[in-house]
């Protein structure tokens, strides 16, 4: 069974062409004969747009789509009255959203996933927790500070996702597991080598604890997004994949979503 992987589609940014993006992803799904599509978050800056796009994609491609929310998907930018919990739970209406629980792919394979959050472990030790909690450096405010209103500290949110994932991994430990987080599980996908600003900002990209979980439970594939790279590394028996479509402004020598999706689209095979 072939599985398609993509994240960080950002269909509602200025200059994005959602219909052409949809067309590109559907074409790639058909070209690769993919049975299940995994999207590791950041479809849009508005959870309602994200929901609509996921439904459209499933209908147009005729395949099951699995998803975890990204930080952008839960932002309150378009819903200032909503907390991050409300947008997060709003996204759980989508039946392929892994925040609802593990999804059996075959008799042997299962997908487990969630947004994940940050514990600053990828940031430089030169900063204190209080400095990271401010999420601001040289006048640049990390937007989760104001747009993801959880009512809990950043580290508490990381711990919430960590415990939730650990419990599910433990209950599926005899299966072959695909773990999906929006945030990064390994330092390899952070900005390296970091300049002065990224020594600080790498703190908001994920947590090494998700990577440790993946290795502890011998996860076969650990899929993430968030950082706008297309990279893969393997530790022990776990292949870590970060496969982002990115902002159109970041595409090299191309401005056509169909062409870029074709370039970015990644598949894995399970049996």
In the complex with Fe ion, which residue's Cβ is closer, 75 or 109? 75
Nearest to 68 by CA among 17, 16, 5, 135: 5
| DSSP conformation class of 230 | E
The interface mask with Fe ion, positions 52-81, x = CB under 5 A, is ------------------xx----------
d(CA 77, CA 50): 13
Q: Which is nearer to Fe ion, 175 or 226 (CB)?
A: 226
Residue 70 or 96 with smaller CB distance to Fe ion = 70
Smallest distance from the beta carbon of 232 to Fe ion, in angstroms? 18
Which of 11, 34, 42, 189 binds Fe ion (CB under 5 A)? It is 42
Of 71 and 87, the one with the shorter C-beta distance to Fe ion is 71
Q: Closest distance between Fe ion and the C-beta of residue 182, in Å? A: 6
> What's the distance, CA 214 to chain centroid?
15
114 near Fe ion (CB under 5 A): no
190 to 219, contacts with Fe ion by CB under 5 A?
none
Return contacts of 190-195, CB within 8 angstroms, 24+ apart: 190/122, 190/227, 191/227, 194/124
252-270 burial: b if 16+ Cβ within 10 Å, else e: eeeeebbebbbebbbbbeb
* Sites of contact with Fe ion (CB under 5 A): 42, 70-71, 226
């Amino acid at each position: 069974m072939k599985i398609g992987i993509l994240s960080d589609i950002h269909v509602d940014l200025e200059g994005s062409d959602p219909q052409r993006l949809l067309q590109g992803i559907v074409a790639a799904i058909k070209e690769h004969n993919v049975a299940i599509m995994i999207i590791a978050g950041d479809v849009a800056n508005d959870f309602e747009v994200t929901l609509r796009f996921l439904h459209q994609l499933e209908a147009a491609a005729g395949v099951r789509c699995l998803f975890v929310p990204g930080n952008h998907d839960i932002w309150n930018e378009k819903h200032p009255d909503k907390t991050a919990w409300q947008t997060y739970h709003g996204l759980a209406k989508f039946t392929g959203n892994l925040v609802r629980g593990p999804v059996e792919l075959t008799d042997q394979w299962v997908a487990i996933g969630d947004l994940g959050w940050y514990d600053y472990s990828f940031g430089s030790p030169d900063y204190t927790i209080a400095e990271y909690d401010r999420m601001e450096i040289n006048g640049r405010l990390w937007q989760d500070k104001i747009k993801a209103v959880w009512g809990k500290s950043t580290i508490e949110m990381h711990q919430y996702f960590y415990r939730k994932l650990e419990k599910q991994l433990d209950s599926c430990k005899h299966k072959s597991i695909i773990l999906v987080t929006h945030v990064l599980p390994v330092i390899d996908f952070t900005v390296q080598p970091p300049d002065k600003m990224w020594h600080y900002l790498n703190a908001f990209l994920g947590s090494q604890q998700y990577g440790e979980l993946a290795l502890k439970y011998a996860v076969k594939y650990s899929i993430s997004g968030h950082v706008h790279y297309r990279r893969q590394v393997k530790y022990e028996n776990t292949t870590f994949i970060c496969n982002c479509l990115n902002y159109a402004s970041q595409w090299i020598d191309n401005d056509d979503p169909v062409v870029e999706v074709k370039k970015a689209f990644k598949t894995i095979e399970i049996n």
